[in-house]
Amino acid sequence: MKENIFKIFNNTKSRFVELHDVNIEMKPIPMYLATMNCRPAVTSFLFPFKKHNYIISVNSKKNFSRYSIPIDSLNETMVTGWFAHELGHIVQYQKMNRGEFIIFPFKYFFNLNFRKKFEIEATDIARKIGFGNEFSEVEKFLRDDERVNKKYQERFKKFYMLD
Ligand SMILES: [Zn+2]
């Protein structure tokens, strides 16, 4: 998986035509609070009028925890589906105006309805590009694999799945 993950990322990104000119760095690092996340690079916040750069971080830790699962536990299809969801967020970020972009982290943190809508929309964007089956594999894994922490499952259901 380790060597493969860059290839999987590039293949997934190449299908997001509207992101071809967007600079996105993918970094496997140990993470405590997420399995994957995506954020604008710090310079994007300092210079929000510039073209944005993004970082997608991928959890390189080996254990299942309340907040993350190891990326190594996922097969290639699932990693693809998950990347597609994160790239969906970048499509969302790209559509924001400067004000929306600056206020976004606060809204995401404090407004749980907004958070859910934002997560569901990212998956919808990925589905429209053709990653529906891949993301469904992720959903199935998180729901059914007994190694996945119960709290993690609850949070996933709450924010990532339609009621
Ligand atoms: Zn997300």
Task: For residue 160, give the nearest of 141, 145, 139, 134 by alpha carbon.
Answer: 139
Ligand 1: centre distance to CA 37 (Å): 7
Six token digits for residue 29: 């690092």
Residue 33 predicted with pLDDT over 90: no
Ligand 1: centre distance to CA 65 (Å): 18
* Domains held by the chain: number: 1
Residue 10 predicted with pLDDT over 80: yes
Residues 27/25/69/138 CA torsion (nearest 10 deg):
-150
Residue 163 predicted with pLDDT over 80: no
| Alpha carbon distance 113, 119 (integer Å) | 10
Q: Where are the beta strands (DSSP E) in the chain?
A: 23-29, 36-40, 53-59
Q: What residues does the ion ligand 1 have nearby, CB within 5 Å?
A: 119, 122
**pLDDT band per the 50, 70, 90 thresholds, residue 1:** low
pLDDT at residue 101, rounded to an integer: 85
- Residue 102 or 43, more confident: 102
Q: Which amino acid is at 27?
A: K
pLDDT at residue 50, rounded to an integer: 62
Ligand 1: centre distance to CA 88 (Å): 8
Ligand 1: centre distance to CA 8 (Å): 18
Ligand 1: centre distance to CA 2 (Å): 22
Ligand 1: centre distance to CA 11 (Å): 19
Ligand 1: centre distance to CA 91 (Å): 12
Mean pLDDT in residue range 34-61: 81
Mean pLDDT in residue range 106-118: 96
Mean pLDDT in residue range 110-124: 97
Mean pLDDT in residue range 95-100: 87
Indicate which CATH number applies to the domain containing 128: 3.30.2010.10
Provide the domain limits for residue 103.
4-160
48-78 confidence digits (pLDDT tens): 666 678 999 999 999 999 999 999 999 999 9
